Structure 1
Amino acid sequence: MKKTTTCLALLLGVLWACQLPAQGQSKSLFNGKDLSGWHADVPDMDKNPNLKTPFLVRNGLLVSMGTPGGHLITDATYQNYRLELEYRFAAKPGNCGALVHASTPRALYDMFPKSIEVQMMHQNAGDFWCIQEDITVPDMEKRRGPRENWGVNGNKLRRIPNLTDGSEKPVGEWNALTIECLNDEVKVWVNGDFVNHGFNCTVRSGQIALQAEGSEVEFRKVLLTPIAKLSEQP
């Protein structure tokens, strides 16, 4: 009886493991020295090449100075991964974002690349913003507003608020933002709190981008871990 129970437990353990996404080897997308593996897209620099890029490395940190506005974009594209960021607004609260599944640059307002944005704006961390791509969440009309006003561009309702308040730390302290992209789903945690979950995403792969959107933000961790694609129901 004991042997049978042990075998059953082992079998259940194997079956449970099969339901979880297997993780690959993690790698940092920021080497602490320079911006190798990234490129900046800053529209105002097209008009004035004397402008300084808003993205730099300072004291081993990746820094978005906030202005001029633009995006720091990975050279590589990624699919099925967990992205872990540690960031802080060092001086005063403000706005920033991490964009996943990014593709066509300047697809919205001649600034934002086609993507799903995971908001980092102070007191709104974890919101989704749909930028020429779309995603679904439970209670869509309650969280996004009237269905007839939904959209992915212009003045449409592109914001999907997160599920919690109070998950962020005070300004000056480090926040942990985790984004998991798997198949057509995107899940978000802020400081360990599960704050958003979208599915039926219209895109499943792309580049990763960090914003310069008016506020100085420091990053000390940009870690990507591949996760295995889960089999889908027929």
Structure 2
Amino acid sequence: MPDTWISTSGDSTFQVSAKSLFNGKDLTGWHVDVPQLDKDTKARNPFVVRNGYLVSLGTPEGHLITDAIYQNYRLELEYRFTAKPGNCGALVHVSTPRALYEMFPKSIEVQMMHQNAGDFWCIQEDITVPDMEKRRGPKKDWGVNGDKLRRIPNLTDGSEKPLGQWNALTIECLNREIKVWVNQDLVNHGYNATAQQGQIALQAEGSEVEFRKVLLTPITKLSE
């Protein structure tokens, strides 16, 4: 039986039932977008299943993207860097592939980079947070492409566990809000997002990362 929990938002109550997006055996339900594979068909697929874990090998760089589109959900990931710490990310509201630098799909990224987990990165989509200028920089330099200020730092860099230990990253997308927890600490909360649905993606961005949990919980309003 799937896990069930209750979430409240304002005066509304939502009932949720969880389902795993990773079956522990293969990448059913996902597809790979790796530009290097267009040029070299012998290049390795950076996304594999190993010892029951979903693994991002880090290179060649690209994305593992769900086939399905999701809206109003909670995404729970458990991950760890397997060697030296580095970069990775979970992307929500994914749409147009390779929309930035011919690599990154149009989306809002929740950063997983070591010591920066929970940052927002705006990739042809945008989001607002409190204290926007303090956290993002001068308003005139904000943007969602090119060399604009696309990063919105998280509220704390002290929530990650030591290298080699499993981290829990939770992302809740409800309407145009996104909340992020790292190991149960609320580390980011954005609103007025320019998208509220899309695919979900995991990155290969230089460092090997293992995932042992990829759990999605749709959020639906209870019948009155």
Give the CA RMSD over aligned residues: 1.4
Shift of 1:23: 2.6
Distance 2:32 2:151 in 1: 25
Note if contact 2:117-2:157 (Cα within 8 Å) is conserved in structure 1. Answer: no
- Structure in which a larger fraction of residues adopt strand: 2
- Structure in which a larger fraction of residues adopt helix: 1
Per the alignment, residue 35 of structure 1 pairs with: 27
Distance 2:76 2:111 in 1: 14
Alignment gaps of 5+ in structure 2? 1-7
Residues 1:199 and 1:18: Cα distance change in structure 2 (over 3 Å): closer
Per the alignment, residue 218 of structure 1 pairs with: 210
Deviations along 1:59-109, one digit per CA (max 9) or x if unpaired, are 000000000000000000000000000000011100000000000000000
Aligned with residue 203 of structure 1, among 195, 200, 204: 195
Deviations along 1:20-55, one digit per CA (max 9) or x if unpaired, are 541332100000000000000000100000011000
Distance 1:222 1:140 in 2: 30
Per the alignment, residue 163 of structure 2 pairs with: 171
Q: Report which of the two structures shows the higher radius of gyration computed on alpha carbons.
A: 1
- For the residue of structure 1 that corresponds to 2:17, the secondary structure is coil
Structure-1-length-normalised TM-score:
0.90
Note if contact 1:80-1:229 (Cα within 8 Å) is conserved in structure 2. Answer: no
Per the alignment, residue 139 of structure 1 pairs with: 131
Structure 1 segments (4+ residues) deviating >4 Å: none
- For the residue of structure 2 that corresponds to 1:52, the secondary structure is coil
- For the residue of structure 1 that corresponds to 2:16, the secondary structure is coil
- For the residue of structure 1 that corresponds to 2:220, the secondary structure is coil
Q: Report the number of matched residues.
A: 215
Distance 1:18 1:68 in 2: 44
Percent identity between matched residues is: 80
Distance 1:44 1:21 in 2: 45
